[in-house]
Amino acid sequence: MSTTPSEVELVARSRRGDVSAMGLLYERYRPGLSAHALSILGHVRHGDIDDVVQDTFLRALGRLHQLQEPVAFGSWLHSILRNTCLQHLRRKSAETIEGLEMTGSGPLDLELVERETREEVWVALEMLPEHLRVTALLRHNGRSYDEIAGVLGIPVGTVRSRLSQARTALKLALTAAATRVGGELLSELEARATHMRERFDAFYLEGDRGLWALYVDDLDLRFSGAAPRRGRVHLESEFLDDVHHGVRLEVGELVYGPSVSVLDATLHNPVHDPYRCPPNGTMLSLHSGGRISRVHIYMAPRTFDPALAS
């Protein structure tokens, strides 16, 4: 009977270029990193949290040789995430002020990995198809989008598309490698995520109240920018009010870990009240004893309502 390797063992194997160990570390920390990034960045464009988490992990792989104490891997990884989030905020701020595309704003920013990137990152990149790998490596070597387009003889738009595909392929490859090592744990988390998604769908499509069983009675509910509220009844009231007014929530990306989950949702407003709710939001849930004990809800800015401007 196989057992899941310890974190120290996974770090040691990752240093030796073991892709499956890298994958398991990635899957083990992805939910927590996503939650941490969300707490720093708030509600951002769909995909930004995933970009920050993957940039953090790639940077960490390139610096594993600098980690003095493998037992401190988790705290070290989260410190890298904080710096990555600050870079992301500075970049977005500069883009807003100057209206210019900043270097490193691409969907696979391998420049965030140190120049002395070690073998393990290259091992991971070798899992990519050749056309994606070449594009990613050119980007990593400091080439601009225009330069990459010139070298490969492809449009700049194709460069962007390939970098986006490379990011997705790398994530899938790491996840697949993790499954080979810790398949039982990942299968259990996937089943929990599926159950959570089904409960939301059943509530908003059929009015099924089984959704409430996911949460403790004494739920700690926190909306961004509002005072905390105690009690599941407040969450029930919010959701039931949405349904009463014809709003439907559609679950999108759902990252699920042993103690935290991050759920992205699209809100579909009724035809007669198209500006009632913001277009989308993100729910960060903390789990304890198999149920959700705290929920942080981050909403996108509300869509402009022409009725308010008249």
Q: Where residue 96 sits, what CATH number does that domain have?
A: 1.10.1740.10
d(CA 197, CA 262): 12
The answer to whether residues 95 and 136 belong to one domain is yes
**What is the DSSP code (8-state) at residue 303?**
P
Binned at pLDDT 50, 70 and 90, residue 129 comes out as confident
Among residues 182, 204, 235, the one where a domain terminates is 182
Q: Identify whether 2 is part of a domain.
A: no
The answer to whether residues 37 and 172 belong to one domain is yes
Q: Summarize the confidence of residues 141-166 as an average pLDDT.
A: 81
The answer to whether residues 136 and 246 belong to one domain is no
Strands 215-223 and 291-299: parallel
Binned at pLDDT 50, 70 and 90, residue 291 comes out as very high
More confident residue, 101 or 153: 153
Half-sphere CA count of 132, side-chain side, radius 13 A: 18
d(CA 8, CA 6): 5
pLDDT tens for 261-286 read 888 889 999 998 888 888 888 888 88
Q: Residue 143: name the closest of 130, 126, 162 by CA.
A: 162
d(CA 276, CA 245): 9
Q: Summarize the confidence of residues 242-259 as an average pLDDT.
A: 87
Q: Summarize the confidence of residues 133-153 as an average pLDDT.
A: 75
Domain residues for the domain of 236 are 189-309
pLDDT tens for 92-111 read 655 433 332 333 333 333 33
Among residues 182, 215, 230, the one where a domain terminates is 182
Residue-level pLDDT at 176:
64
Residue-level pLDDT at 45:
57
How many structural domains compose the chain? Answer: 2
d(CA 112, CA 130): 21
The answer to whether residues 20 and 146 belong to one domain is yes
